[in-house]
Structure 1
């Protein structure tokens, strides 16, 4: 088979309802040099495997891999092993590429060969905004800001050079946040191969992200949530330090990280499968004792970086953490009251934003 310009890798699992939309969105792309679609049936118990085979019979650009259930990371790794050509794009089976997406990304890459091309996404399936080639450039030192702008953590909004991506793997031992690990590994590798690289951010949304899905990471409970995210954030902060991200970007990043950990502590109290009461509280206290979290609190104190969770976490107050997280989750006005109470307890000497 002739080498395509771009390979699109789609992990497939329990996606009968959305797979046709996903596949159609890829195969209708007009790409100079051609494309290849790799569907990885990850042991899906429904009819997805047969659907994938039907697409392969209908279109020679489709390759199907059937494997036992290894999870989304294992499926992406299998897709990477089978990929070829100049570039790789990841896509989830319940999402879709917008018309003209791939060529817009390739045009941006051709115009700026040293760049890592990435793009925004939309949650509107019929988003009326046109796909354009408008791009803005971001330097390596803007990594923290790009993360805060929801452009770094996911793998499916980037154009990867196949020659580099094939050297990496998604870590199959993680059940949460493994996407961020892969992206940071790719950025580090790109920095070694092309020290002067920067980011080319397409201003158009090229991917439709289906946020109506159920059973996502945002809704499922993860027992090791408060163990995993400190590892991810430690790696993210190290990458930001290596990129010389400025303090004005690191402070909001630290606030975001503290919120994630504090909300994870509250989630232990809310729905950990341990018996309600003492066991949940013990696990939550253990999460607050995480060395990375204690170091984050010291860093935020030295930065005079305010977060409503700063004092409750410093005090190990499960009651206050719970009250803040629950009021934020339910949009209760109590959150604002607790937020300002903490700020005034610090005499207004910390930066709020």
Structure 2
């Protein structure tokens, strides 16, 4: 029996309410060569595991792997290693593939066999725009722009060659941002296999991303946030330098990285369980002493790249960082006032674009 064209790997944990929608979106894909679905049940407290088994019992294209509380990265690794297909796609159990998604991705990949195919996504469940194979070509040095356009960091909007993806793994030591590490590792492997590749971005959103849920990694507090993201950004920056991203893109990337880090510092003051008057404030101050942050600020000074967080972080002023982040989070006019005040304190010499 020939291997299917696609395998879709779905990590499953506390997904009772959305799993049927997810699996149905996979099995309803009409695609040349067929599709396999691997559900990796991570042993949640609800009936998700039983639902996985029920799908496998009624559709031979569904395979179930059960494991106990090992986390999403371990689940993806298990599903990826079990895949026996030409291409691999990841999907989260609360999301869904749009009708025609896999066939569109396949047609673009067949048209550009050496390139990396990825696509946009939609957060609107009512989105009924037809899926097309209209594609935008981006060069390899557009890596920073991919991250800035929110197309790089996630694993589920990309088409991987299964045998290549199986040579790498998601890092189970991370609980945040590990997806970016995996994508960068795959791109490094792709550069060896097809050195002249570029990015082919389908303009149609092929994945429905459900951002209505609560309790996700993006909404949880991570005590080591300001330790994890510098590691991810260091790897991203090295990759961007390797492919010689344009200076304008690098400035925007560095500004965005400073924002992510500074807002993580503010989150320590907002949500860390330690007492605010002592350990919590000390922890935020220690984050602002990070060697990675100092190097980033020095690079931004060399680039003449301005950010509202530049001076507060340079001054290691936790209260000012927090005030800025809160003003931005609540859409307060204070953010704009502080932003421009910092710009003029620096003599208006740095680039705001």
TM class, shorter-length: over 0.9
Q: Unpaired segments of 5 or more residues in structure 1?
A: none
Tell me the CA shift for residue 128 of structure 1.
2.4
1: CA distance, partners of 2:286 / 2:200: 41
The residue correspondences of 1:134-145 to structure 2 (distance < 5 A) are 134-145=134-145
Moved more, 277-286 or 306-315: 277-286
**1:238 and 2:238 aligned:** yes
List per-residue Cα deviations over 1:43-93 (Å, max 9, x = no partner). Answer: 122111111111011110000001111100000000011001110000000
Compute the displacement of 1:26 (Å). Answer: 0.3
Q: Which runs of 4+ in 1 moved over 6 A?
A: none
1:72-151 → structure 2 map (5 Å cutoff): 72-151=72-151
- CA–CA separation in structure 1 for the residues paired with 2:233 and 2:277: 29
Residue 332 (structure 1) aligned with residue 328 (structure 2): no
Alpha-carbon distance in 1 for matches of 2:342, 2:218: 27
Deviation at 1:213, TM superposition (A): 0.9
CA distance in 1, matches of 2:254, 2:29: 39
- Cross-structure match for 1:315: 315
Which residue matches 1:212?
A: 212
Identify the range of structure 1 (146-155 vs 121-130) with the bigger mean alpha-carbon deviation: 121-130
**Within-5 A mapping of 1:1-353:** 2-353=2-353
SS of structure 2 residue aligned to 1:277:
helix
Question: 1:299, 1:326 → 2: CA distance?
Answer: 26
| DSSP 3-state at the match of 2:39 | strand
Give, in angstroms, the shift of residue 186 of structure 1.
0.3
CA separation in 1, counterparts of 2:43 and 2:2? 29
Post-superposition Cα deviations, 1:203-258, rounded to whole Å, max 9, x if no partner, equal 00000000001111221100000000000000000000011101010001001000
Instruction: Report the secondary structure of 1:219's partner residue.
Output: coil
1:50, 1:265 → 2: CA distance? 41
Distance in 2 (alpha carbons) for counterparts of 1:219 and 1:80? 27
Q: Secondary structure at the match of 1:196?
A: coil
| Separation (CA, whole Å) in 2 of partners of 1:285 and 1:192 | 42
Secondary structure of 2:276's aligned partner? coil
1:2 offset after TM fit, Å? 3.3
Counterparts of 1:107 and 1:342 in 2: how far apart (Å)?
A: 50
Secondary structure in structure 2 of the residue aligned to 1:203: strand
How far apart are the structure 2 equivalents of 1:271 and 1:114?
46
Structure 1 CA distance for aligned equivalents of residues 146 and 83 of structure 2: 27
Looking at structure 2, the residues matched to 221 and 186 of structure 1 have their Cα atoms a distance apart, in angstroms, of: 28
Looking at structure 1, the residues matched to 168 and 331 of structure 2 have their Cα atoms a distance apart, in angstroms, of 41
Structure 1 distance, partners of 2:272, 2:338, is 25
TM-score, structure 2 length as denominator?
A: 0.99
TM-score (norm 1): 0.99
The unaligned stretches of length 5 or more in structure 2 are none
